[in-house]
Amino acid sequence: MGDEHCHLFIDFEFTMPERSGRFKGFYPEIIEAGVVAVANDRIYHQFSSYISPIRFPKLSERCKSFLHISQEQVDQGISFLELVNKLKELSKNQSCTIITWGNMDMRVLRNNCQHAGLSFPLKGKEVDLSMEYKRFFGDQNQTGLWKAVQEYGKEGTGNHHRALDDAMTTYNIYRLVEKDKRYLEKHEPTTIGDRVDFSKLLNKFA
C-alpha cells in the first residue's frame, strides 16, 4: 500500500438488552465487525469476524432475532483485544480517514476500549457519512444506510445488518456521493464576475 492515505469503511453490530431491562449495568458491546480498507481508490483488504462479548457474554433473544447472530457464532468469535489489534494492523498504525454510517460505531468502540482498559486503535479524521449525506441532499432526517443506497437507485451489498455487507454498502455510497460532489464542483453556476469583465467596465468610467 505504500504511504498512500487510507480510508477505512467500518461497520459494527452490537449486543442489545432484552426490553425487560434485566441487564443491569448494560452497555452495547461489539459482536461483529466488517471493515473495507481502501487506498488509491482500490480495496486492499476486507475483514469480517464475530467477536465474543466480555461484559454480557450471553446474547439476549432480542439481539439474536434482530441481527440473526447465534450464540455459537459469538462464542467462536475472536476476542475484543484481537479486534483492536486487527484495526491497528488495517490502518498500518497511521492516520486514516475512518468512515461509518452514523456515529454509534466509533462511540461504542471507544466505550468498549475504556471498559477493556485498551487504548483506542485508530488515528485520523472520523466521518459520519449519514450526516454528510443529509447535508449534501438537504434531508430533514437522517436516512438509514439501505434507504440511502436505494435512493441512488442501487441495492445494498449482501444482507442488511451483516457488518461487512454494511461496510461495503457504506463504501459504495461514499463513492456515489464523492462523484456527485465532484460533478457539482465542476458545474458551479457562473457568477456575475464571470459574465462581466469588470476591468473593461471600470476603464469605461475612468
What are 2-14's pLDDT values in tens digits?
A: 568 999 999 999 9
Among residues 161, 178, 185, 188, the one annotated as catalytic is 161
**pLDDT average, residue stretch 102-125:** 96
Q: Would you tell me which CATH number, out of the four given (2.40.100.10, 3.30.420.40, 3.30.420.10, 3.90.1150.10), belongs to the domain 6-188?
A: 3.30.420.10
Predicted TM-score (pTM) of the model is 0.81
Does residue 13 carry a catalytic annotation? Answer: yes
Active-site residue, selected from the candidate residues 5, 7, 13, 132: 13
Rounded-to-integer distance, Cα 158 and Cα 48, Å: 13
Distance (Å, rounded) from C-alpha 184 to C-alpha 180?
Answer: 6
89 is catalytic: no
pLDDT in tens, 46-80: 999 999 999 999 999 999 999 999 999 999 999 99
